[in-house]
Amino acid sequence: MQTRTAVLHAVGDPISVETLDLSAPRAGEVRVRIRAAGVCHSDWHLISGATQHPLPAALGHEGAGEVVAVGPGVTRLQVGDSVSLNWAPACGECFYCLHDSPCLCDAYLEPIWAGVMLDGTPRYALAGQPVYHYCGLGCFSDYVVVPVQSCVLLDPRVPASVAALIGCAVTTGVGAVLNTAQVRPGSSVAIFGAGGVGMSMVLGAKLAGAARIIVVDRVAQKGEFAMSLGATHFVPAGDYAIGEIRALTGGRGVDYAFEAVGSPAVQEACLAAARPGGTIVLAGLAPMGSSTNLPGAVLTRQEKTVKGSYYGSAHPPRDFPFLASLYLDGLLDLDSLITRTYRLEEINSAYTEMLAGSVVRSVVLFE
């Protein structure tokens, strides 16, 4: 069959919406009709070249939709099921899966970085040539074929746009707070970067009972929004940010500093923002090959802990339904994260607006 899909042909190019050939699901795969796909910054890293990936690539990794066909051997899902897409289709059996780190599963990481399905081949093609799947998905597309492990069944009462965000930003942001940092009630938190991931951290910190939730961003307008979601303070990014954070925390710095930008300089600012004995959680994706100065001389003497957080240290089949239930119970205001919607043809404008910081999270809606 054919499908309209957002494709990146070369680093620095605009995204082009192309009609691709999509082959049928093979054993252990399903075809999903996409209803909504979120505009996450991680796709932009392919366009800027900060993340290297085989090209051409079908973009989009934060999606949700409806199962429309199942391949041989798929029994867990049926046509008509509502699913949120998981970009970490872990095997459940390897060392990492058995040690509570399915996002580090070594069975899926190699194929997703090669842009292919778990059997090593892509399902998209243009004029007979392969088009690779970003994150094993490529869901800025009317239809996508994915491994069954990439589908998490969700309550159909969750709107598709919210289910899409659970597929990346919300799991990453709330997971960084609840799983990676395990923020304790009454603690102080600073969140650098108030996009879809950072604002999800705000929601997570509120849920965890943090007493001070300080948001740092270079766009002032994000401050009002962060406060409406539960942040207690907004600090403009820049030279005075660390001083202001210390002033708000008895001169010490915060218990937990979260990075949700993807910049070595901001990662370094997080180290400065955390108090002695505090924890720094890095969720933003810094450019591949970049390095950050997190001096051991400081870490030891001040007993600071630095943690990486990939996909919110989540277990998607466990955490997606958990986050969906919090949403349905009114405990996680995911509707408010979505400040704009687009059609697929408007995908380049969606990224321009994301880079300008004029949206919290935008979502591409499909018919």
Determine which residue in the list 150, 232, 309, 313 makes contact with ligand NAD, applying CB under 6 A: 309
Question: Quick check: 164 binds ligand NAD (CB under 6 A)?
Answer: no
Determine which residue in the list 311, 320, 342, 366 makes contact with ligand NAD, applying CB under 6 A: 311
By the 10 Å C-beta count (0-12 exposed, 13-18 middle, 19+ buried), 345 is classed as exposed
> 3-state DSSP helix/strand/coil percent for the chain, to nearest 5?
35, 25, 40
283 binds, among ligand NAD, Zn ion, none (CB under 5 to 8 A by kind): ligand NAD
Other Cβ atoms within 10 Å of 288 Cβ, number: 11
Q: Residue 110 or 119: which CB sits closer to ligand NAD?
A: 110
Residues at the site binding Zn ion, with contacts judged by CB under 5 A? 40, 42, 62, 90-91, 94, 97, 105, 107, 168
Determine which residue in the list 105, 183, 216, 235 makes contact with ligand NAD, applying CB under 6 A: 216
Backbone angles phi, psi at 201, to 5 degrees: -65, -35
As given in the structure block, the two tokens for residue 4 are 């309209």
Q: Smallest distance, Å, CB 238 to ligand NAD?
A: 8
Question: Quick check: 284 binds ligand NAD (CB under 6 A)?
Answer: yes
As given in the structure block, the two tokens for residue 44 are 């932009």
Q: Which residue has the tokens 């600071």?
A: 304
Q: Which residues contact 236 (CB under 8 A, 6 or more apart)?
A: 216, 217, 218, 220, 223
Q: Residue 25 or 312: which CB sits closer to ligand NAD?
A: 312
Q: Which stretch binds ligand NAD (CB under 6 A): 92-100, 104-112, 167-175, 336-344?
A: 167-175
Q: Smallest distance, Å, CB 38 to Zn ion?
A: 7
Q: Which residue has the tokens 């999800």?
A: 200
Q: How far is CA 47 from the centre of its chain?
A: 17
Binding footprint of ligand NAD on the chain (CB under 6 A): 40-42, 45, 168-169, 172, 192-198, 216-219, 222, 237, 260-263, 266, 283-285, 309-311, 354, 357
